[in-house]
Amino acid sequence: MTNSFLKISNLKKSYHDANKDILIFDGINIALDKNNLVSIVGPSGSGKSTLLHILALLEKADQGQLFLNNEDLFKINENSKTLYRRNKISIVYQFNNLISDLTAIDNVTLPALINNIDKNSAYIKAKKLLSDLSLANRLNHYPTELSGGEQQRVAIARALINEPNLILADEPTGNLDHKTADEVFNILLNIKSKDRLIIFATHNRELAKKSDIQLAIQNSNVKILN
Ligand SMILES: Nc1ncnc2c1ncn2[C@@H]1O[C@H](COP(=O)(O)OP(=O)(O)O)[C@@H](O)[C@H]1O
Ligand SMILES: [Mg+2]
Residue 9 class from Cβ within 10 Å (0-12 exposed, 13-18 middle, 19+ buried)? middle
User: Taking 80 as the threshold, does the pLDDT of residue 1 lie above it?
Assistant: no
Q: Which CATH superfamily is domain 34-63+77-224 in?
A: P-loop containing nucleotide triphosphate hydrolases (3.40.50.300)
What is the phi/psi pair of residue 64, to 5°? 110, -175
Residue type, 44: S
What pLDDT is attached to residue 95? 86
Domain boundaries, the chain: 34-63+77-224
Segments in the chain forming alpha helices (H): 48-55, 78-87, 104-114, 119-132, 148-160, 178-191, 205-210
* Cα–Cα distance for residue pair 136/129, rounded to 1 Å: 9
**What are the pLDDT digits (tens) for 80-131?**
999 999 999 999 998 878 999 999 999 999 999 999 999 999 999 999 999 9
Atom of ligand 1 nearest to the CA of 46: 22
Q: How many CB atoms lie within 10 A of CB 62?
A: 13
User: Taking 70 as the threshold, does the pLDDT of residue 2 lie above it?
Assistant: no
Say which ligand is closest to the CA of 40: 1
The model carries a pTM of 0.95
**What are the pLDDT digits (tens) for 125-180?**
999 999 999 999 999 999 999 999 999 999 999 999 999 999 999 999 999 999 99
Atom of ligand 1 nearest to the CA of 59: 1
Q: How many CB atoms lie within 10 A of CB 110?
A: 17
Pocket lining: 46 vs ligand 1, CB cutoff 6 Å: yes
What pLDDT is attached to residue 226? 82
Residue pair 126/112 in contact (Cβ under 8 Å)? The answer is yes
Residue 193 three-state SS: strand
Q: How many CB atoms lie within 10 A of CB 52?
A: 22
What pLDDT is attached to residue 28? 98
Pocket lining: 192 vs ligand 1, CB cutoff 6 Å: no
**What are the pLDDT digits (tens) for 183-206?**
999 999 999 999 999 999 999 999
Q: How far is the CA of 44 from the centre of ligand 2 (A)?
A: 7
Atom of ligand 1 nearest to the CA of 52: 17
**What are the pLDDT digits (tens) for 31-73?**
999 999 999 999 999 999 999 999 999 999 999 999 999 999 9
Residue pair 96/155 in contact (Cβ under 8 Å)? The answer is yes
b/e 12-38 (16+ beta carbons within 10 angstroms → b): ebbeeeeeeeeebbeebebebebebbb
Question: Could you tell me the end-to-end alpha-carbon distance of the chain, in angstroms, rounded to an integer?
Answer: 25
Say which ligand is closest to the CA of 60: 1
The residue contributing the CA closest to ligand 1 atom 1 is 15
The residue contributing the CA closest to ligand 1 atom 18 is 49
